[in-house]
Amino acid sequence: MAQQLHVELVAVEEKVWSGEAEMVVARTTEGELGVLPGHAPLLGQLAEPGQVRIKLPGGEQVSYEVAGGFLSVTGEGVTILAESATPVSAAQSR
């Protein structure tokens, strides 16, 4: 079984998404960042406007438009703390 990341996407008012993923892609103020299992720990500020893409096991992907916040990578997984997070429809994420 391939390694997976535990991912949590949290907005100010609620936990938006939580689960296992193969990869997370987010745009930070330093540029676009892809996170795979085993990534070195880091803390990045999310760029505005930004999008977070979560690649799920099996190839499906979920995407969210995010405003403000941070992305944290630790040995435990990835946590995205955003001021707001809105799901992106399949048509918009192409």
Q: What pLDDT, on a 0 to 100 scale, did the predictor assign at position 89?
A: 78
Q: What pLDDT, on a 0 to 100 scale, did the predictor assign at position 25?
A: 98
| Residue 64 near residue 87, CB atoms below 8 Å | yes
Average pLDDT in the 64-68 region? 94
Q: What pLDDT, on a 0 to 100 scale, did the predictor assign at position 94?
A: 47
Residue 84, Cβ neighbours under 10 Å: how many? 14
Question: pLDDT tens-digit profile of 75-86?
Answer: 999 999 999 999
What is the value of pTM for the model shown? 0.90
Domain residues for 10?
Answer: 5-87
Question: pLDDT tens-digit profile of 2-29?
Answer: 689 999 999 988 999 999 999 999 999 9
The CATH number of the domain where 63 resides is what? 2.60.15.10
**Is residue 20 included in any domain, yes or no?**
yes
Give residue 10's identity as a one-letter amino acid code. V
Residues 6+ apart with CB under 8 A from 12: 82, 83, 84
**Is residue 68 included in any domain, yes or no?**
yes
**Is residue 94 included in any domain, yes or no?**
no
**Is residue 93 included in any domain, yes or no?**
no
